Amino acid sequence: MQKLTVLGATGSIGISTLAVVEANPEQFSIYALTGHSQVKKLVEQAVKFRPEVIVVGSADLAKEARTLVEQHQLNVEIEFGEQALERVASAEGVDTVVAAIVGAAGMRSCLAAARASKRILLANKEALVMSGQLFIDEVKKYNACLLPVDSEHNAIFQSLPLDYQQGYLDKSIEDYGVTSIILTGSGGPFRETALEDLPFKTPKQACAHPNWSMGQKISVDSASMMNKGLEFIEACYLFGVSPDFIEVLIHPQSVIHSMVRYQDGSVLAQMGQPDMKTPIAHTMAWPKRITSTVEPFDFVKCSGFTFQAPCQERYPNLYLAKEAFRQGQEVTTVLNAANEEHVDRFLKGQIAFTDIAKYNARILEKLSPQKACNLTDILEIDKQARSLAHELLN
Ligand code: NAD
Ligand code: MG
């Protein structure tokens, strides 16, 4: 029986995780569920999954949760705030931490899980993009086990030999005959939109992803392909490769979740329905397999697979991310922070869709961050980038 803490339980990934738990009740139990502001949903989850602890965002929200918990006569501790997230991510007795908070807000709890030598199922890509090698080094130092949930990285991981998978952070992918990684992406809802119409796209249109059902932030990132940019950086850190090692390919059907090329000409891919329950179940059971409840993919019914190269004019954010990685850790921290701020403004209707990339580029141009040697530096750079974004927007 694995005991789980699910950080971001009320989000899209959190809900999918709990569906996999529900399908495999004899293998998993829940220690903690966290939900920031969605108190009602979190308490409903607690009624069903009986965690020992729930964590919300503030003292007021904890009060709200207390009332609901009493109504349900539930025996659960209620905690709040960032330190509580770190505590449940590192608590004794917890085997696995599902890192499914969105954005930089999840970084400290990810690090806490690493330092407590947990098995970390990483969905929160921003945490890795923001802290990069520092996070990987902590995982190695404390002998934690980091497994990629992001469907592309999970596909790449699955397309590599088991011998590589075990302790992969210390291994070189090239020693296994790999010549490149092919990161696939759907191209998002605006793949065929006329370029001149892009500035008028609304948050609702940006969030209507053709294949995946996801949280708002990642949906907007998918539309701008910043998501692929963040994933590009994520892949460089996870698999210890340089940018030249990664090809990005648009595959609108989202059935091939990514691929690995080998020196003998073989290309291995992982395929399936575009449903995050598959990579989540894979990481939950790794190196074994469990049911995920995802329907088998029907090849006969599918209309075919197509591919195209991404175009810089349509997806400037992807190119900003590649360039940021080349410039160094600090610059990816800046880009991640700027993008979070700008996506937030776009979702609030304050800036246009195309402004996200334009303003991200402006921050990269104006801010020359100091070298990041530790977590304090990272948090300082993140703060600088956010305040510059606010300053320029106001
Ligand atoms: P979501 O918006 O649906 O859920 C986010 C979760 O984080 C919620 O539980 C919310 O309560 C919590 N949260 C938000 N702000 C917080 C804060 N300040 N402090 C603490 N908790 C906070 O997002 P999602 O789509 O589930 O994505 C979660 C993460 O997984 C993101 O990093 C995303 O990039 C990644 N991811 C998601 C998908 C997907 O299909 N949804 C796929 C791959 C990777
Ligand atoms: Mg992904």
Q: What amino acid occupies position 338?
A: A
Query: Has residue 43 been placed in a domain?
Result: yes
Residues 10 and 62 in one domain: yes
Structure tokens at 311: 């175009």
What would the pLDDT profile of 76-94 be if each residue is shown by its tens digit? 999 999 999 999 999 999 9
CB 222 within 8 A of CB 233: no
| Residue 256 phi, psi (nearest 5) | -80, 120
Structure tokens at 87: 């505590």
Name the residue with tokens 């789980």. 4
In this predicted structure, the answer to whether residue 244 has a pLDDT above a threshold of 90 is yes
- From the CA of 196, how far away is ligand 1's center (Å)? 31
In this predicted structure, the answer to whether residue 246 has a pLDDT above a threshold of 90 is yes
Beta-strand (E) ranges in the chain? 2-7, 28-36, 53-56, 77-80, 96-99, 119-122, 145-148, 178-185, 246-250, 256-262, 267-271
Q: pLDDT-based confidence at 213, cuts 50/70/90?
A: confident
Q: Which of 148, 183, 211 is the last residue of a domain?
A: 148
Supply the CATH number for residue 52's domain. Answer: 3.40.50.720
Query: Has residue 285 been placed in a domain?
Result: no
Q: For 260-277, what is the mean pLDDT?
A: 98
Query: Has residue 164 been placed in a domain?
Result: no
Q: Which of 90, 116, 148 is the last residue of a domain?
A: 148
Best CA proximity match to 9, nearest among 100, 84, 97: 100
In this predicted structure, the answer to whether residue 210 has a pLDDT above a threshold of 90 is no
User: What does the pLDDT read at residue 209?
Assistant: 86
pLDDT > 90: percent of the chain: 98
Residues 42 and 142 in one domain: yes
- For a pocket test of ligand 1, which of 218, 219, 275 has the largest count of ligand atoms closer than 8 A to its C-beta? 218
| Residue 74 phi, psi (nearest 5) | -95, 140
- For a pocket test of ligand 1, which of 7, 13, 149 has the largest count of ligand atoms closer than 8 A to its C-beta? 13
Name the residue with tokens 């992001």. 150
Query: Has residue 335 been placed in a domain?
Result: yes
Structure tokens at 236: 């460089």
Ligand with an atom nearest the CA of residue 257 = 2
Q: Is the peptide bond before 203 cis (omega within 30 degrees of 0)?
A: no
Residues 185 and 267 in one domain: yes
Name the residue with tokens 């291994």. 171
Query: Has residue 281 been placed in a domain?
Result: no
Q: For 272-278, what is the mean pLDDT?
A: 97
Residues 120 and 225 in one domain: no
Residues 181 and 144 in one domain: no
Ligand with an atom nearest the CA of residue 229 = 2
In this predicted structure, the answer to whether residue 16 has a pLDDT above a threshold of 90 is yes
Q: For 71-76, what is the mean pLDDT?
A: 96
Residues lining ligand 1, Cβ inside 6 A: 8-14, 35-36, 38, 57, 100-102, 105, 123-126, 150, 212, 214-218, 276
Length of the chain, in residues: 394
Ligand with an atom nearest the CA of residue 254 = 2
Structure tokens at 77: 């501790």
Residues 204 and 344 in one domain: yes
Residues 242 and 325 in one domain: yes
Residues 138 and 180 in one domain: no
Residues 97 and 193 in one domain: no
> What residue's CA is closest to ligand 1, atom 32?
124
Would you call 16 exposed, middle or buried from its count of C-beta atoms within 10 A (0-12, 13-18, 19+)? buried
Supply the CATH number for residue 258's domain. Answer: 1.10.1740.10
- From the CA of 63, how far away is ligand 2's center (Å)? 35
Name the residue with tokens 């070298």. 371
Contacts of 251 (CB under 8 A, 6+ apart): 184, 185, 186, 305, 306, 307
Q: For 118-143, what is the mean pLDDT?
A: 97
Residue 221 CA: nearest ligand 1 atom is: 34
d(CA 176, CA 343): 39
d(CA 319, CA 302): 31
Average pLDDT, whole number, for the chain? 97
- From the CA of 190, how far away is ligand 2's center (Å)? 17
Could you give the number of structural domains in the chain? 2
Residues 117 and 237 in one domain: no
The domain containing residue 9 runs over which residues? 2-148
* CA 394 from centroid of its chain's CA atoms: 29
User: What does the pLDDT read at residue 247?
Assistant: 97
What would the pLDDT profile of 34-62 be if each residue is shown by its tens digit? 999 999 999 999 999 999 999 999 999 99
Best CA proximity match to 229, nearest among 293, 304, 351, 322: 322
In this predicted structure, the answer to whether residue 144 has a pLDDT above a threshold of 90 is yes
Q: What amino acid occupies position 213?
A: S
Q: pLDDT-based confidence at 382, cuts 50/70/90?
A: very high
Distances (CA, A) of 173 to 170, 198, 200, 238, 386: 10, 39, 43, 11, 35
Contacts of 40 (CB under 8 A, 6+ apart): 68
Residue 94: helix, strand or coil by DSSP?
Answer: coil
User: What does the pLDDT read at residue 262?
Assistant: 98
Query: Has residue 266 been placed in a domain?
Result: yes
User: What does the pLDDT read at residue 15?
Assistant: 98
In this predicted structure, the answer to whether residue 355 has a pLDDT above a threshold of 90 is yes
What would the pLDDT profile of 169-189 be if each residue is shown by its tens digit? 999 999 999 999 999 999 999
Residues 125 and 258 in one domain: no
Residues 326 and 211 in one domain: yes
User: What does the pLDDT read at residue 212?
Assistant: 83
Q: What amino acid occupies position 57?
A: G
In this predicted structure, the answer to whether residue 270 has a pLDDT above a threshold of 90 is yes
